[in-house]
Amino acid sequence: MSIPSTARTALVSGVAGNIAFYGPTRVQTGVLDTTSAANNVWGRAFTVKSSANETVQAGGTGAFAGIMISPKTYAIDTAYAANNTVAEFLTMGEVFVDLDAAAAPVEGGKVYFIQASGLITHASGAGNTEMTGAVFARHAVSTESGKKVAVVSLTGPLPAA
């Protein structure tokens, strides 16, 4: 085996839903209650479904609950979290996310989520909600293994409901 002589230009580390870098973080919990549990995926955006019941849903149009984090707290090889379970949501900090779009967002660019699924995107438009105070941070977007992995930094005020 030879000694590597070139540097990779793609982000090869990072699992969607893991906190990316040490620093100030703010996390809250909520009970998952999404129409399709298959959208309860780490690294996606969630909104408040019911304040009284403390339930959240992937995507949606309610108040921003955060980006779902901590995939290691669930069973290995679990693709998504079941409804009626408690999950953690990052509202301040830096987190790895999977992206939906084929085109790469720019570092420092605005972050949106798709209301139907909570998937993170860089594209504005109908059915997408801007995450106020969030930007794509630190790295160029990875294209390893056919996935687009990016780091999102949540630093500002939460989006209005």
97-132 pLDDT, tens digit per residue, is: 988 766 678 888 999 999 999 999 998 889 999 998
Mean pLDDT of all residues in the chain?
86
Give the range among 13-17, 106-110, 128-132, 142-146 with minimum mean pLDDT.
Answer: 142-146
Q: Are 118 and 46 in contact (CB under 8 A)?
A: yes
Q: Which of the residue ranges 22-36, 67-81, 126-140 has the most confident prediction, judged by mean pLDDT?
A: 22-36
Q: In the prediction, which pLDDT does 161 show?
A: 47
Mean pLDDT confidence for 80-106: 88
- C-alpha distances in angstroms, 63 versus 19, 27, 36, 116? 22, 15, 19, 15
- How many residues belong to the chain? 161
Residue 13 has pLDDT above 70, yes or no: no
Residue 92 has pLDDT above 90, yes or no: yes
pTM: 0.86
> Given pLDDT bands bounded at 50, 70 and 90, which one contains residue 78?
confident
Share of the chain above pLDDT 70, in %: 85
Cα–Cα dist 90/55, whole Å? 15
Cα–Cα dist 93/19, whole Å? 7
Share of the chain above pLDDT 90, in %: 59
Q: Are 17 and 69 in contact (CB under 8 A)?
A: yes
Q: Are 139 and 11 in contact (CB under 8 A)?
A: yes
Pairing mode of beta strands 86-98, 149-154: antiparallel
> Given pLDDT bands bounded at 50, 70 and 90, which one contains residue 15?
confident
